[in-house]
Amino acid sequence: MRTADLDFELPSDLIASSPLAERDASRLLVLRRAGAELSDDAVRSLPALLPAGALLVVNDTRVIPARLRGVKASGGKAEFLLVRETSGDGRRWEALGRASKPLRDGALIAIGEGLSVRVLGRDGMMLDVELIADDPRAAIERHGEMPLPPYMHRAPEASDRERYQTVYANRPGAVAAPTAGLHLTDGLLAAMAARGIERAAVTLHVGPGTFAPVMVDDLDAHPMHREWYDVPAATAAAVRAAKRDGRPVVAVGTTVVRTLESWGLDGDATGETRLLIQPGYTFKVVDALLTNFHLPRSTLLALVMAFGGVDPVRAAYARAIAARYRFFSYGDAMLVL
């Protein structure tokens, strides 16, 4: 796919920098692939829009307050974004870092009372760091900030600790939210269950690469980021039963699509995925998709185009812009059936 096909002009005032007062109050643009039919609806209509008996698959990852700000011994400021834990005790991490002067091996940065970060080495852009604390995970929760996407252009607020998190978030490890799930509430999930819509969970720890724009002309040359995923045995069984019975598998978000399709391709229930889905890909597991509106020149938009069709999705985005839908993480949603 040519990267130019992922470009579109988005007025900056359509970028949602804060969530609505109620999670399920967002608008919903529905794209029915049969006939490329578009209609405007609301997230609260999801229980009626999804077929009874459908299997709804969510991503239960939990966003950690992964941004740590501190001071070097020289007095200069330094900042880290924890990306991936590399030990089993929360002490060693891969991290992105920046400071007033380059961070050297051995540098010790004081983050707050009871937490410091030591730089152990570097591999390209990624740092190998050690968290020095009695309980590193508790120290991250105490001193870290929620890693809001850069396009929000604001500092995190106390409310982001709850709102930049799904209501079913359970397994800590993400540095970005699986944003389609931010629309779902306990009440909405209960209404779906009452209609016979089953729910299952996978985990994919969303990394910062999800926001990386495509910088090459041909998407095939894009260095896809890696993310850890897990498909529990109960979820695998639920998916197999739904496929056997002809019931649709509905993915809540692109992270669920990448998880299920990675599992469907190689059969690995747990691992790291670099799966790049673009037009021409044949979907093996997912039958419907709930997703937010994504960045131009992004692999996320390429995935949605692969699922919904390039021209229908391009038409959907044009309609969303004309109708002033809200875009990106805290924005409105699209359902592709």
Q: Give the pLDDT confidence of 97-150 residue by residue, as tens digits.
A: 999 888 999 999 999 999 999 999 999 889 999 999 999 999 999 999 999 999
Mean pLDDT of 167-182: 97
Write the CATH number for 278. 3.40.1780.10
**End-of-domain residue from the set 88, 113, 144:** 144
Which amino acid does the sequence have at 103?
L
Is residue 8 one of the residues assigned to a domain? yes
* 171 plus 293 within the same structural domain: yes
* 158 pLDDT higher than 80: yes
Please report the pLDDT score of residue 325 as a whole number. 98
List, for residues 49-83, the tens digit of each pLDDT value: 999 999 999 999 999 999 999 999 889 999 999 99
Given CA atoms 281, 305, 307, 25 in this order, what sign does their dihedral have? positive
Write the CATH number for 130. 2.40.10.240
* 88 plus 35 within the same structural domain: no
* Residue range of the domain that includes 117: 67-144
Take residue 241 and report the two structure tokens written for it.
Answer: 């039963």
Distance CA 180, CA 184 (A): 8
**End-of-domain residue from the set 113, 144, 175:** 144
Mean pLDDT of 262-271: 96
* 54 plus 78 within the same structural domain: no
List, for residues 31-43, the tens digit of each pLDDT value: 999 999 999 999 9
Is residue 174 one of the residues assigned to a domain? yes
Please report the pLDDT score of residue 212 as a whole number. 81
Distance CA 320, CA 333 (A): 10
Distance CA 255, CA 58 (A): 9
Is residue 89 one of the residues assigned to a domain? yes
List, for residues 90-105, the tens digit of each pLDDT value: 999 999 999 988 899 9
Q: Grade residue 163 by pLDDT with cuts at 50, 70 and 90.
A: very high
* 184 plus 329 within the same structural domain: yes
Please report the pLDDT score of residue 104 as a whole number. 93
**End-of-domain residue from the set 144, 173, 194:** 144
* 203 plus 305 within the same structural domain: yes
Please report the pLDDT score of residue 89 as a whole number. 93
Is residue 214 one of the residues assigned to a domain? yes
* 312 plus 299 within the same structural domain: yes
* 58 plus 169 within the same structural domain: yes
Mean pLDDT of 270-299: 97
- How many CB atoms within 10 Å of residue 312? 20
Is residue 152 one of the residues assigned to a domain? no
Is residue 151 one of the residues assigned to a domain? no
Mean pLDDT of 269-276: 96
Size (the chain), residues: 337
Which amino acid does the sequence have at 67?
R
Cα 60–61–67 angle (5° rounding)? 155
User: CB-based contacts of 241: which residues, under 8 Å, 6+ apart?
Assistant: none
pTM of the model: 0.96
User: CB-based contacts of 113: which residues, under 8 Å, 6+ apart?
Assistant: none
* 36 plus 125 within the same structural domain: no
* 239 plus 138 within the same structural domain: no
Is residue 149 one of the residues assigned to a domain? no
* 16 plus 82 within the same structural domain: no
The three-state secondary structure class of 203 is strand
* 178 plus 252 within the same structural domain: yes
Is residue 150 one of the residues assigned to a domain? no
* 202 plus 309 within the same structural domain: yes
List, for residues 206-226, the tens digit of each pLDDT value: 999 887 889 999 999 999 989
Take residue 167 and report the two structure tokens written for it.
Answer: 């209501």
Please count the structural domains in the chain.
2
